[in-house]
Amino acid sequence: MSMAAEPNELRDDVLNGLQLSTQLEKVWRTPSGLVGALMSVDHKVVGRRYIVTAFAFLLLGGILAILMRVQLAGPEKTFLSADKYNQIFTMHGSTMMFLFAVPVMEAFAVYLVPLMVGTRNIAFPRLNAFSYWMFLFGGCFLWISFLFNAGPDVGWFSYVPLSSLQFTPTKRADVWAQMITFTEVAALAVAVEIVVTVFKLRAPGMTLDRIPLFVWAMLVTSFLVMFAMPSIMVASTSLILDRLVNTRFYDSSSGGHPLLWQHLFWFFGHPEVYIIFIPGTGMVSAILATFVRRPVIGYPIVILSLIATGFLSFGLWVHHMFVTGLPQLGAGLFTASSMLIAVPSGLQIFCWLATLWDGRPVYRTPLLFVIGFVVIFVLGGLSGVMVASVPIDTQVHDTYFIVAHFHYVLIGGAVFPLVGAVYYWFPKIAGRMLSERLGRWNFWLAFIGFNVAFFPMHILGLIGMPRRVYTYTADMDWAHLNLLSSGGALIFALSFALLLVNVIYSLRKGELAGDNPWNASTLEWATSSPPPPQNFDRIPVVKHRDPLWADSESLPVVAGLSAERREILLTSLAEAEPQIREASPEPSIWPLLAAIATTVFFIGSIFTPWAVLWGTPPMAVTLIGWFWPAGSKEDEE
């Protein structure tokens, strides 16, 4: 099995400096031209596309939010019809959850994890490209359907029987269900890539207790994706089968049961919240350490909290179903588990506060967003503990109190860290700094706008305003708070416009970043900004949890990898001992073709079950083309 190095192969131990960089760039770069771009398997290229696409969907979802806030700004407005409103709130929720929140977190992982663990590309780079195309096509499918008035209108959780054929005879619910299939395929693929990247591609010496906290967070998230998303795939498939070929999963007259849908949906839907939140905590840990100039206090506590949160997140789903008439024992159990999960989250918060207390904080924009996160997320956590209790939940179920609660949790827990992360890692990705002045405006507009928009919703919910109503009458006395909320939403939207302006401006005019503008400690800052196609000229060796703080002058590295073909270093799971020099795939057009074939299959199958038959051979052909050795040197050893 041992394949000792061919003596005549060019290796990185005989080249140095510029010569080595140039040679590796030639080997690892994405081919030029349009076809070349479509073939790219570079995790940075795919990651960048993923991030930009997810933010484009954020923009679209945000526009829908503004439309809703305009409609609700006063009583009995006719800006949107009831039907349009139904489509818009469904599209807003589905876009934000499936096309923005989950993908954007995975996108950051796709870009950053390989750099942070010190390798040259993600594990299974072609699968990674495939994943991006599936995500893009699924998102476009949803939005194009919406533009043709076939957008889903049954809520982002698409409850049966409303979404069954009897009550939604149009294609709208099918579009929703199949969009789910697209995005889950994409998310599952990335999850497996991240797990294998973290398990096997870590730089030598990066033992389990030296993995950066952001990478730990993405590892836990990936496991959550792997164990939560199959549930929604079973759910969306069975819904489509009910609608298309008359299966009876949800038909109570033939032994089916509508609550089965809610169980399947929320068994995915609750971990989903943590799939969005846990990456946010990873971003917080990374940003915090850098800007308070010390490692996060309680590294093992933070990791164990992440893992505990991951496990507990699978035991909460029924708290979304308290009003469905569950046995009391069940309700009690899920109340207890819902309160229990506050414990690991609380532990992390205390670790961060202690870090902040003990450090020397430098209040740059990323840190401002982290502090905004702590404030808003704690508020959302408090209302979460409230609705974990059955009597309160029964009172406020389906009211604006719930809308307020989950926006505090999701925007506080994920979007604030995310925007902080944009300010933090933009210099690495783009090579230029974002404007600090615009950044401060961005933060304060976001913080004030968010609270003005969403805090009044708590009160609106408590005084009885239900969710998903397209208007209300003047005598309900909801008008002032709604107007206030709409004003806040505009300010909040303005903060994102400012972010966009900042990005566009800084891409051209921003100050040059250099390798490590924040003097951070993790490996992504040990290479140039933006990183070259090979990420590192030589693979780093890790001897410390904060390698760049331990020695800011020199980087210990390994040599001996090929300099004439794509080769990466595989290391052992726990100790990260070098094991194998493995070939890494070349660029290929097959992932795109496979994604196109899969798209035809998925979209075809909502119109005719026969698509399963005629759609399969093209998929099989593209997959065989994908895996068949191309005859290149690394395939032939």
Partner 1 sequence: MRQTIVRNVAELPTYGYGPRSGPWWGAMGFMALEGMGFAIAIGAYLYLYAVNPTWPIGASPPDLWPGTAETVIYLLSIIPNEYTSRVAHRQDLAKVRICLIVMAAIGIALLVLRGFEFAHLNTRWDNSAYGSIVWLILGLHTTHLATDVGDTVVLAVLMFTRHAKPRRFSDVTDNVFYWNFVVLAWLPLYVLLDWIPRL
For residues 418 and 277, give the distance between their C-alpha atoms in angstroms, rounded to a whole number: 10
Q: How near is the Cβ of 316 to partner 1 at its closest, in Å?
A: 16
For residues 569 and 564, give the distance between their C-alpha atoms in angstroms, rounded to a whole number: 15
Contact 52, 116 (CB under 8 A): no
Q: How near is the Cβ of 588 to partner 1 at its closest, in Å?
A: 16
From residue 433, alpha-carbon distances to 290, 397, 473 in Å are 16, 44, 49
Dihedral-angle region of residue 576 (phi above 0 means left; psi in -120 to 50 means alpha; beta otherwise): left
Bridge partners of 582? 568
Q: How near is the Cβ of 225 to partner 1 at its closest, in Å?
A: 8
From residue 394, alpha-carbon distances to 271, 311, 320, 365 in Å are 22, 26, 11, 40
Query: Which of 460/593 has CB closer to partner 1?
Result: 593
Side chain identity at residue 609, one-letter code: P
Query: Which of 334/472 has CB closer to partner 1?
Result: 334
Q: What are phi and psi of 93, to 5 degrees?
A: -65, -45
For residue 466, say if its preceding peptide bond is cis, omega within 30 degrees of 0.
no
Those residues whose C-beta lies under 8 Å from the C-beta of residue 385, and which sit 6 or more positions away, are: 338, 339, 342
Query: Which of 127/452 has CB closer to partner 1?
Result: 127
Query: Which of 265/455 has CB closer to partner 1?
Result: 265
Q: How near is the Cβ of 223 to partner 1 at its closest, in Å?
A: 8
Query: Which of 500/620 has CB closer to partner 1?
Result: 620
Query: Which of 258/295 has CB closer to partner 1?
Result: 258
Q: How near is the Cβ of 325 to partner 1 at its closest, in Å?
A: 13
DSSP letter, residue 474:
G
For residues 49 and 29, give the distance between their C-alpha atoms in angstroms, rounded to a whole number: 16
Query: Which of 163/345 has CB closer to partner 1?
Result: 163
Structure tokens at 540: 């780093």
Long-range contacts at 312-315 (CB < 8 A, ≥ 24 apart):
312/337, 312/340, 312/341, 312/344, 313/224, 313/270, 313/271, 313/273, 313/274, 313/341, 314/227, 314/228, 314/267, 314/270, 314/271
How many other β-carbons are positioned within 10 Å of the β-carbon of residue 231? 21
How many other β-carbons are positioned within 10 Å of the β-carbon of residue 338? 24
Q: How near is the Cβ of 620 to partner 1 at its closest, in Å?
A: 6
For residues 43 and 335, give the distance between their C-alpha atoms in angstroms, rounded to a whole number: 42
Query: Which of 4/34 has CB closer to partner 1?
Result: 4
Helix 590-604 with 125-147: angle, nearest 10 deg:
40
Query: Which of 123/603 has CB closer to partner 1?
Result: 123
Coil, strand, or helix at residue 571?
strand
Query: Which of 333/583 has CB closer to partner 1?
Result: 583
Q: How near is the Cβ of 221 to partner 1 at its closest, in Å?
A: 14
Q: How near is the Cβ of 43 to partner 1 at its closest, in Å?
A: 14
- Choose among 520, 88, 482, 76: nearest CA to 286: 520
Q: How near is the Cβ of 488 to partner 1 at its closest, in Å?
A: 40
Query: Which of 225/402 has CB closer to partner 1?
Result: 225
Cα-only R_g, the chain = 25
Coil, strand, or helix at residue 603?
helix
Q: How near is the Cβ of 551 to partner 1 at its closest, in Å?
A: 9
Q: What are phi and psi of 258, to 5 degrees?
A: -60, -30
Contact 117, 215 (CB under 8 A): yes
For residues 30 and 43, give the distance between their C-alpha atoms in angstroms, rounded to a whole number: 11
Sheet strands (E) in 403-509: none
Query: Which of 10/67 has CB closer to partner 1?
Result: 10
Query: Which of 437/543 has CB closer to partner 1?
Result: 543
Q: How near is the Cβ of 428 to partner 1 at its closest, in Å?
A: 15
Query: Which of 258/361 has CB closer to partner 1?
Result: 258
Q: How near is the Cβ of 235 to partner 1 at its closest, in Å?
A: 9
Q: How near is the Cβ of 236 to partner 1 at its closest, in Å?
A: 12
DSSP letter, residue 534:
T
> Which residue do the tokens 């771009």 mark?
37
Query: Which of 20/179 has CB closer to partner 1?
Result: 20
Q: How near is the Cβ of 524 to partner 1 at its closest, in Å?
A: 13
For residue 279, say if its preceding peptide bond is cis, omega within 30 degrees of 0.
no
Structure tokens at 317: 């789903």
Q: How near is the Cβ of 314 to partner 1 at its closest, in Å?
A: 10
